[in-house]
């Protein structure tokens, strides 16, 4: 079946640095990808919708300049956490959907656990 891969799975960085997380669809083209954030023992909260070739659509309360999203190709979306601080520590997970006509499941990446020291 369709596979979505995320990298890195774990990252530890110093406060003030930027971290890039990649989300790739491995065997299908994803015109739309979604980025979620999950705090420990909590639900997934949608951060933004990443659209290939256009600007991402951010959910209310999500800082665009803090969480930069780039969807440069049909198989790759990246999330960059800029000037990371300890409160940005979280589990970030992406998902991708197959374009129109497919009403089944979304495919999720393995997730990336970010720890900011």
Residue from the set 56, 79, 93, 114 that interacts with another protein by CB under 8 A: 93
d(CA 8, CA 109): 11
For residue 30 the two structure tokens come to 């994803």
Q: Where are the beta strands (DSSP E) in the chain?
A: 4-7, 10-13, 19-25, 32-38, 44-51, 57-58, 67-73, 76-81, 90-97, 107-108, 112-116
CA-wise closest residue to 35 among 66, 12, 11, 13 = 66
Residue from the set 22, 58, 82, 91 that interacts with another protein by CB under 8 A: 91
Instruction: Select 9 or 18, whichever has its Cβ closest to another protein.
Output: 9
Span interacting with another protein, options 21-29, 62-70, 73-81, 109-117, rule CB under 8 A: 109-117
Instruction: Select 50 or 78, whichever has its Cβ closest to another protein.
Output: 50
Span interacting with another protein, options 15-23, 37-45, 70-78, 82-90, rule CB under 8 A: 37-45
Which residues lie near another protein (CB under 8 A)?
31-32, 34, 42-46, 49, 91, 93, 95, 97, 99-101, 103-108, 110-111, 113
């Amino acid at each position: 079946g369709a596979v979505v891969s995320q990298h890195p799975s774990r990252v530890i960085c110093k406060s003030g640095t930027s971290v890039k997380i990649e989300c790739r669809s491995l065997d299908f083209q994803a015109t739309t990808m979604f980025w979620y954030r999950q705090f420990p023992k909590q639900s997934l909260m949608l951060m933004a919708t990443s659209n290939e070739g256009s600007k991402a659509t951010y959910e209310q309360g999500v800082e665009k300049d803090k969480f930069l999203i780039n969807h440069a190709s049909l198989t790759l979306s990246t999330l960059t956490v800029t000037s990371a601080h300890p409160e940005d520590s979280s589990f970030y997970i992406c998902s991708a959907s197959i374009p129109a006509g497919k009403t089944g499941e979304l495919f999720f990446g393995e997730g990336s656990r970010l720890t900011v020291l």
